[in-house]
Amino acid sequence: MARTWLSIRVELLSGLYAECDPAPGRVFLVGPRHTFQQLARAINIGFARWDHSHLYDFELADGCVVGFPDVDFGEDDVLDHASTKVMSRVGPRDRFGFRFDFGDEWIHECTVEETKVDPVGVYGEPSVEPVPLFGWGTIPDQYGRISDGRDAESLVEPEIPFPFLHDELVRMIELNGGEPMTSADLADTINAEGRYRKQDGSAVTSPQVGARVSKYPQLFGRDDGGRVRLRRPGRG
């Protein structure tokens, strides 16, 4: 077959009690007939979720939302997840978000890989549903359970939820009087304070700070010297 299918990289950024850093991920094979409803189901299965009864939505790069149009959350013109084809709305190199469970807020970043693929070549046959081709990382339990018990003792509930890294970057720059800081200085300051903890227990590095700054262009910019600065209303 021709290279007409998409491979979509999905990374789990945060949910439940904390962000996932490093982010676990899966790469999904998606064909021309697959809907966003089918992609959502594949993502949830790929990230080991057994309770699929929660609402979800996709937010596309152009601001369009794909989800449940019959549920009113004050959003206009929600595209129907059950009928909207993935390839009708996204293509190579596009990025979009997937949010599952509006209470626990499992947030995913989806990136369409640059080159289309032949489903027979990468999977062996065209699949009826989107399927995972590759994966990595530690997948958190959907409800934070650490055993098969059905009582409260089987749940993991930190006394104080760990802050998200981008929130800590904002706080560090504000504590610095709002003055720009290098990625290395931000990493060192965060590690010295110890309030933010990565999932694997390792130290925050300068490249990780840089990657997180790039993920949140609405929050951060760079000055002429390459230091990280906060974006303020009315300025770029």
Question: Which residues, 6 or more positions from 119, have their beta carbon under 8 angstroms from its beta carbon?
Answer: 1, 5, 29, 31, 125, 126, 127
How sure is the predictor about 151, in pLDDT bands with cuts at 50, 70 and 90?
low
- pLDDT > 70: what percent of the chain? 86
Q: In the structure encoding, which two tokens stand for residue 49, read together?
A: 């979720």
Task: Name beta bridge partners: 109.
Answer: 11, 97
- Calculate ∠ Cα 137-141-143, nearest 5°: 150
pLDDT at 234 over 50: no
Please give the average per-residue pLDDT across 152-180, as a whole number.
74
pLDDT at 87 over 80: yes
CA distance 83 to 103: 25
H-type helices in 81-233, by residue range? 119-123, 165-175, 183-193, 206-215
pLDDT 10s digits, 94-114: 999 999 998 888 999 999 999
Considering the chain, tell me which residue range(s) the CATH 3.10.290.30 domain(s) occupy.
6-136
Instruction: Tell me, rounded to whole angstroms, the distance of Cα 176 from its chain centroid.
Output: 29
pLDDT at 84 over 80: yes
* Of 14 and 154, more confident: 14
Q: Please report the pLDDT score of residue 153 as a whole number.
A: 54
The answer to whether residues 213 and 228 touch, using CB atoms and an 8 Å cutoff, is yes
- DSSP code per residue over 167-178: HHHHHHHHHTTT
State pTM to two decimals: 0.70
Task: Name beta bridge partners: 14.
Answer: 19, 107
Q: What is the average pLDDT value for the chain, to the nearest integer?
A: 86
Query: What is the architecture of the domain spanning 165-230?
Result: Orthogonal Bundle (1.10)
Please give the average per-residue pLDDT across 134-158, as a whole number.
74
Considering the chain, tell me which residue range(s) the CATH 1.10.10 domain(s) occupy.
165-230
Instruction: Tell me, rounded to whole angstroms, the distance of Cα 159 from its chain centroid.
Output: 24
Question: Which residues, 6 or more positions from 98, have their beta carbon under 8 angstroms from its beta carbon?
Answer: 10, 39, 40, 43, 56, 57, 58, 107, 108, 110
Strand ranges for 92-138 from DSSP E: 95-100, 106-112, 131-136
pLDDT 10s digits, 18-44: 678 788 999 999 999 999 999 999 999
pLDDT at 157 over 70: no
Q: Please report the pLDDT score of residue 93 as a whole number.
A: 94
Domain 6-136 is found in CATH 3.10.290.30: yes
